[in-house]
Each structure stands twice: as structure tokens, then as C-alpha cells.
Amino acid sequence: MGSLVMETQSWGGFSDDLRRASELFGAMDETNLRILLMLSASPLSTRELARRLGTAESHVSERIKRFANEGLVRSEGWVRLNGRNLKLYSATLRSIRVDFKPESFMLTLQREGAAKDTNIFLAPYMRYDPPKLRYKVVGRRAERVVIGGSRGAVVVWGVVGIGKTSLVASWAAGLRKNGTMVFWHTLRPGDSFTSVCTKLTQLFPEHKRSEVLEAMARCVEEGRFDGLIDEVIRSLGGFKGAIVFDDYHVCSG
């Protein structure tokens, strides 16, 4: 296994829509669905929800706060029950529809009282966050100096399990902490050249993204890819940050 690290130049203005959509979709676990189901039947307090779920009220409060931020629940005000002041909540969400598309989903939310549905595009494959570290990486100072001091491509290689991905992820975490953009993609056997290039186009200015996507569509239709990779590289000329390809050994041809 290995990682290919490329550092180049940058612009800002990236949208958090994909991240928000993926997080919202990932939040639909069994407990959250049960909460929404109960709140759609009648207004309830976090205390009552916790009692019915058999869990701590603090856990329910965290989930309700997240739902409120997403506009999925609303406050119905305070009431006094059994000598206590309790805030009641109800669900505004009436339905969720998921449409499957190539490399993505479209999530449609229907809310009570909303003039129109909310459409959110979900593309888990298109996310480019570095992997989260489960433990602190120690040592490897010489390797960190080489990676951090390079302004070109760096290949990190070694035997399986030596910690290559963790090393680069730790370095990437430091960059992001300082506000530097990091694009991370772990290559998979099922990846195609066009799918990886499509993911990279998220780093392009909007007008250039459309041009490259149209060029890719023509290449696929005509079965030729000469010059496409050069166009992708040229289009990254305004990007400042780091691009990481993990497990590059799966590439072939």
C-alpha cells in the first residue's frame, strides 16, 4: 500500500452542501427515526422521549438540538406537567424520499407548512475528507519533514501495516487545522479514471468544472482519453492545498 501526496496552489469558496447532506442522511439511525415517529404523532418533551426510549435525557436533547438545526422539529413552547416546566417538540418532517442516481442520491424532504419540498443531493463517494485518526501518531519526524517540505509529488511507500495512511492523515490533519484545504481519495478497485476526475472537479472554479465535465462526457462517448488528464491538471492550477491519493497501488493500466 502507498499514498501519493501532491501539493499545489488554491482558491476558496467551497460549499458544505455535500458534507451537510451526508451527515443528515447518516443521522437517520433507528433511534432518530423513532424520535421523529413519536414527535409526528404528538408533541413531547425530551424527558418523555427519554423515558419511552429507555435512555438518558441528555442523549435525546443532543438529537433534538440537531433536528432543530436542520429544521426537522420545532418547539411548541413550555407547559407545566407534574410540577415541572417542560418544553414540548413536534416533528415538521412529513416524508423523506430517496432517489438513486449514478454515484449519488437525491434526498427529498417534505415539511409541514413548507411551500415546496427541500431537495438535497447526497454523494458519499464525492466526499474528500481525510480519514479520522483513532490514535495519535508518534515519531516519523524525518518523513514529516520530507512531506511537509515538498512542493511537488511525494510517494509514501512501505510494507503493509507500517502506518503510511496514518502518517499522511496526521500530516493532513495539521494542514486542515491551519486552514489549508486537503483533498483525500482512497483508490478502490472499482474506481474508473472518469470517476476520480469527476471527484477532482469539486476543486475547480464553477465555469472550469462545467468545461471539464463536458470534455469527460465526450471522451467517454468517443472512447478516448488523450489529453484529458492534462486538462484536469491544468484546471488545478489555481488550487492551493494538498491532494492525497491513498492506496495508489490499486491503479493499473
Least confident stretch, 4-13, 43-52, 204-213, 223-232: 4-13
Strand order from edge to edge, sheet including 84-91: 44-45, 84-91, 73-81
Q: Do 198 and 210 form a contact (C-beta atoms < 8 A)?
A: no
What are 128-168's pLDDT values in tens digits?
777 777 677 767 778 877 787 777 788 888 888 888 888 88
pTM of the predicted structure, to 2 decimals: 0.51
> According to the model, what pLDDT value does residue 193 have?
77
Would you give the DSSP letter of residue 63? H
8 has pLDDT over 50: no
> According to the model, what pLDDT value does residue 77 have?
93
What are 105-127's pLDDT values in tens digits?
666 777 777 777 776 655 556 67
Report the mean per-residue pLDDT for the chain.
78
Q: pLDDT higher for 8 or 27?
A: 27
Pairwise CA distance, residues 235 & 252, whole Å:
24
Is residue 71 classed as helix, strand or coil in its secondary structure?
A: coil
| Burial class of residue 125 in the structure, from the number of CB atoms within 10 Å of its CB (0-12 exposed, 13-18 middle, 19+ buried) | middle
4 has pLDDT over 70: no
216 has pLDDT over 80: no
10 has pLDDT over 80: no
> According to the model, what pLDDT value does residue 79 have?
92
**What structural domains does the chain harbor?**
2-15+127-250 (no CATH), 23-91 (1.10.10.10)
Long-range contacts of 170-173 (CB under 8 A, 24+ apart): 170/133, 170/136, 170/137, 171/144, 171/147, 172/130, 172/242, 172/244, 173/130, 173/133
Q: pLDDT higher for 178 or 112?
A: 178
177 has pLDDT over 80: yes
Pairwise CA distance, residues 184 & 160, whole Å:
20
In the structure grid, which three cell numbers stand for residue 207, read together? 465555469
